[in-house]
Amino acid sequence: MLDDLSTAHARIDQWESDLADRVARANVLASRLVDLRATGRDRDGLVEVSVDANGVPIDLWLGEGVRQWAASEIARQILATMRVAHAQLADQVADAAREAYGSDSTVAAAIAARMRERFGLGGDDVAR
């Protein structure tokens, strides 16, 4: 009976330690993610879109050359450039997750996959 009680206490101590480690890693990741920013640029350097850690656009810059484009082309280029910024943000999140959880972690892989899914990104479907 005493051995069973000692074993139970040891398991509880291990669970507590594991949980504390997971919380610490999650806090490290959260502190890194909150300040992330990504900026995408089109190939011609005429469109630039910056997004915050949630992927929300926070800045848009258009070069004078876009005045020669049709409005539909400007809109298309803005959206395409925002996808580039989202892909860069997803890469930054994946890097931060690997740093927090380890490069072979299933948690890090799941976080990276979720970010790519969130932004509708496949494997390497966005030119960066």
pTM of the model: 0.80
pLDDT tens for 63-90 read: 999 999 999 999 999 999 999 999 999 9
Rounded Cα distance, 124 and 127, in Å: 7
98 near 105, Cβ under 8 Å?
yes
We find that the CATH architecture of domain 2-118 is 2-Layer Sandwich (3.30)
pLDDT tens for 24-73 read: 888 888 888 999 999 999 999 999 999 999 999 999 999 999 999 999 99
* Domain spans in the chain, listed from the N-terminal domain onward: 2-118
